[in-house]
Chains A and B, each alone.
Chain A
Amino acid sequence: DGGITQSPKYLFRKEGQNVTLSCEQNLNHDAMYWYRQDPGQGLRLIYYSQIVNDFQKGDIAEGYSVSREKKESFPLTVTSAQKNPTAFYLCASISGQGLRNTEAFFGQGTRLTVV
């Protein structure tokens, strides 16, 4: 059963702590993405990776870091430098470059709350 899995579903962080959100896919997709959803602001791109060991900043990368050591995994770290981390985080994957008729598949999301 192929898919994209995010964990945990809910995460609480104390101010000043770093936390890492997990994203794993077994779809053999090349490209993976992290988005953040806030009320009334749609989905904003944080980071994306089109190939292993390479990634690019999206529109709101400040305060976040990522790694892409394996094709299947694209973890996102929310650092203490992120001033407003409370949000719903979505991970997505796309099968490959040039396949223009392929949509992105999303995980179920992680809701991060700073306490």
Chain B
Amino acid sequence: DQQVKQNSPSLSVQEGRISILNCDYTNSMFDYFLWYKKYPAEGPTFLISISSIKDKNEDGRFTVFLNKSAKHLSLHIVPSQPGDSAVYFCAASARFGNEKLTFGTGTRLTIIP
């Protein structure tokens, strides 16, 4: 039972354009969402998060949008840079779920110079 889904295993984007990574969830108890970036053979690093009381959060080139009614969130990267090439995971947690993070399967983003 995959509670957090990233349906696109890979995405290629031209340098300078916008990258949009999508994530869907099924558990209505999730109220906090995070995006992580991961390079091969390394641990994930935190990018940006959003609480369910918001629908948008920005941090530099990264913006996360949350649509609670659709149980959908997306990560926008503008402009995309070659260093953004990595695997991106979305994760979710529930206030009454012992804070454990449930991860999606990841999307491999490739930025084409």
A contact set with B: CB distance below 8 Å: 4, 6, 31, 33, 35, 40-45, 48, 50, 56, 58, 88, 90, 92, 94, 97, 100-101, 103-109, 111
Contacts and interface: CB of A to CB of B under 8 A. Distances in A.
B101 A41 contact: no
Interface residues of B, number: 26
Contacts, number: 63
A10 B59 CA distance: 35
7 smallest CB-CB distances across A and B, nearest first, come from A106-B43, A103-B46, A42-B105, A43-B103, A42-B103, A106-B44, A108-B43
A44 B51 CA distance: 22
B51 A111 contact: no
Nearest to A103: B46
A104 B101 contact: yes
23 contacts: A4-B43, A33-B100, A33-B101, A35-B103, A41-B105, A42-B4, A42-B106, A43-B44, A45-B100, A45-B102, A48-B98, A50-B99, A58-B100, A90-B43, A94-B99, A101-B49, A103-B34, A104-B34, A104-B46, A106-B36, A106-B44, A107-B43, A109-B42
